[in-house]
Amino acid sequence: MTNGSESKERVRGKLRIALAAFAVLVLLFVVPPLINVNHYKNQITGLLSRSLGRPVRLSSVQVQLLPRPGFEISDLSVAEDPAYGAEPVLHANEVSASIRLLALFRGRVEIGKISVDEASLNLVRAGPGRWNLDPIFRTAAAQTESAAGMRGAAPLPYLEATNSRINFKNGAEKLPFSLVNADLSFWQENPGEWRIRLRGQPARTDVSLYLEETGVVRMEASMRRAPALRQMPLHLDLDWREAQLGQLARLITGSDPGWRGDLAGELHMDGTADAASIAMRLSAVGVHRAEFTPTAPLDFDANCGFVYHYAQRSLENLACDSLLGDGHVHVTGEEPGASAPPHFSIELNRIPVAAGLDALRTIRSGLAPDLEAKGTVTGRIVYDVHGGERAENTNPKLPAKPELNHLAKTGPEEQGLLSGTLTVEGLILSGGGLSRPIQAPKFTLEPVSIPPAAPHPDAAAEAAGTGSATEALTGTVAIPAGATVPLDFNLRFSLSGYQLGVRGQTSFARARELARAAGIPETAALGSLAGEPMAVDLTATGPWMPPEEIPLENVTVAETVPVNNAGTPVAPAPPGTLAAPGGDTLTGTVTLHNANWKADYLAGHVGVDDATLHIENGELRLDPVDFTYGPLKGRASVTLPSGCAASQSSPPTCRTQFQMQFTDLDVAALESALLGAREKGTLLSTLIDRLHPSTAPPWPQVEGTVTADSLVLGPVTLDGVSASLRIAPTGAEITSLDAGLFGGRVHLDGTLTKPATDRDKPSYTLKGDFQNLEVAGVGTLLGLHWTGSPLSGTANVNLSGYTDEDLAASAKGRLHFEVRQGSIATPGRVPTATTAKSRQITAALARFAGWTGDAAIQNGAIELGQNTIVTGNGKRSAAATITFATPPEVSFGSP
């Protein structure tokens, strides 16, 4: 009986539990849809607004009971404080807000947690120390204080964002930087103490980036209540991992300077913004240029510690240490802010010179990849305003070193803010095409202060603040370079760039090696030169980090003109100044004596008696050049425009320009010199043969002028010759040739088209005119006695072929001539029967009042065609043929 009663009670208990569970399920799944929460949207909006301390807008609200009671909110916007802008501080399409259960038992509704996904959060800086989060923290602190004692006060809920985006703004301006795929949590650990946890990927909106290579930022922070954000005690741990150096540089600067490597950073902070103790670590592995991977990439691991005071903008107790190779770098300093000048020092203890070469490779391309450096740098440099003044007052100023005089073009060097020395010992540079290493047992770098250069007379007024002196390190080292006088390398290094002066003598072979090792382009031309050592006086300047190259097709003319801050065009900086932001410049002269030059397209060497190469603003100009070429002697100038690479397809503006001047020029000597002619032939035929595609070396793209006081063409002498030539890979062009002949003038222009294949022949097109030629000279050339008025006319001819026979046989064209009056007779001698027959002159030409006619150039001769001879007896015509020969043969036929 008792067992039966207990059994019935257990059944009834299970039934009650099942009914209760069923009732709960009904409440969970049936009741919420029946509740119209939109009637309470205003109350929920006010609740969220009080919890966040900001006006809140939302579209709709749905009740959720699982996994815990709360609301599903759509289209949530949290308004910004007007002092920080008009854009919402937070926007999310879907938000989950859960209710604190304990508050429900007290009869109050409080938001315990707000979770958002794929939200957009704006962090705004409105001025020094003013962030839009500051009012939120102050609101949270006030709510925490009043939550226990004031009815209706709502403590700050747990805030959570996943897969979200954090944007950064400077006032109303939205910066291009942001954190994407961000997970952010903000909650109150204890009354008056908050915690922040953040993870995200840095991104930039105005450039394309590989986000997987920008790294991941992680942050853990805790802070306690204070009247202002900058006064809150803060503990922060931040690290940035998995960052690729090229993408990181592109993220920060907007362009990729060509660095590669893996970077990691850490930051630990304790204190407040007014007194923060900060420890930092920055490490990099495998740093190198994108063009090549060196055998020993640059690695570094630097640790720094300091105390920062935000209100005074001051830094104290700075201490940084880093191992570099077998050496050590130690940096100390103070930045007291406005109260006192800064003081910094850097100590180098046996730092390998190879580390400096590796660092240079990370920011500059073009250096020979196999160039190696040995040696160490030891010393200490101090930056101290008062120290510099004390040194200037206590130490008498020494005269400038003679070897630095040619570098001091921008002004005198003075004792400045830097003091100390750096000593380089055992420097050896090898590889990079050097046949023997460059060695410098010991030299010293000393600091100097360089006053600003005087403004260019045509430059607009510069903005204020640009007239400060430049602090730099200078030194001089002498390097033997295959000549009796060594090369003096005068070094000047500043934070913004470098200046390198080279003065002395060097052999051509050593100059080629040094230029190739330094990454100077267009060194192949030095391979064609030989002779006595050259004298150089060059200055190279440039920034450490060159600007990113922009294709010219994307730049308008206006963008290429430098302007100041006011937008007014300014003139470029005068030569010799320290490098401003921009590209490298090389200026100076190279002087040659008793040298010779050989090109593949010339038959022999060109002897250079004296020549001066001027280098300025990227333009190369040889002027003057006194040269000999076989029996030829002359003077020339050659100019290679700036910004032009050696290419057979260079634009016309990049063609090499030349000017040549001769006194007396003989074609026979010119033929022997230009072509090395040893067999019988003509200048034209031999020259054409050298243009045969199977044997001829390519000619460069050049254009220019040739002038001569006289040009001897066998029995004919041209005087006052001036010719403009243009040579290209496809042929050559005489744009104009003007000269005096037989007391008159001749003008000629024409083209040469090279053969495309070995089966083709080069073709010529020539046309010109002659004016007022004295007929006596023309008659002498043709073996006739001709008197009368001057001869004028025009001619054009097309030819093709390689030999004299080809040219004569293929010549086709027209000749037109006019002469007002004259007389043609045989010379005053007794001719043979053959001569008398071949040179029988018609009675009409014995004396005529005018003669005009046209002739056809064909069949290896000039055949007189339709012509009119005006005599006292009327009009007649003559028949004549001039056969191409040396000298020409003239025969007259019957009228």
Task: Say yes or no to pLDDT of 261 above 50.
Answer: yes
- Which pLDDT belongs to residue 552? 40
Residue showing tokens 């809140």: 56
- Mean residue pLDDT of the chain comes to 76
Residues forming a β-bridge with 174: 169
Higher pLDDT, 311 or 462: 311
What does the pLDDT read at residue 537? 94
- Model pLDDT for residues 676-712, shown as the tens digit of each residue: 544 444 444 445 455 555 555 666 788 999 999 998 8
Highest averaged pLDDT of the listed ranges 437-451, 463-477, 535-549, 597-611: 437-451
Q: Which residues contact 12 (CB under 8 A, 6 or more apart)?
A: none
pLDDT digits (tens, 9 = 90+) for 830-846: 344 344 444 446 677 88
Tokens for 18, please give them: 């099942």
Q: Which helix (H) or strand (E) holds 356?
A: helix 353-363
Res 453: pLDDT: 56
In this structure, of 210-214, 588-592, 794-798, the range with the lowest mean pLDDT score is 210-214
Look up residue 533 and give its DSSP letter: P
757: Cβ contacts below 8 Å, ≥ 6 apart? 693
DSSP 132-184: THHHHHHHHHHHHHHHTTSTT--PPPEEEEEEEEEEEEETTEEEEEEEEEEEE
Return the domain boundaries, the chain. 1-26, 400-453+469-547+575-595, 598-604+616-643+652-773
Element (H, E) at 16: helix 2-29
- 505 pLDDT above the threshold of 80: yes
Q: Is the pLDDT of residue 458 over 60?
A: no
Pick the range with the lowest mean pLDDT from 237-251, 370-384, 411-425, 444-458: 444-458
Q: Which has the minimum average pLDDT: 367-381, 411-425, 599-613?
A: 411-425
Q: Quick check: 23 pLDDT over 60?
A: no
Q: What is this structure's pTM? A: 0.64
Q: Tell me, what's the pLDDT at 312?
A: 80
Lowest mean pLDDT among 126-135, 200-209, 216-225, 409-418: 409-418
Q: pLDDT, tens digit, for every residue of 26-55?
A: 555 544 554 455 555 777 777 778 767 778
The DSSP code for 465 is T
- What DSSP string describes 730-791? TEEEEEEEEEEETTEEEEEEEEEE--SSTTS--EEEEEEEEEEE-HHHHHHHHT-EEEES-E
Chain segment 404-432, per-residue pLDDT in tens: 334 434 444 455 688 899 999 999 999 88
**pLDDT above 70 coverage of the chain, percent:** 71
**Whole-number percent of the chain with pLDDT over 90:** 22
Buried b vs exposed e over 295-307: b needs ≥16 C-beta within 10 Å? Answer: eebbbbebebebe
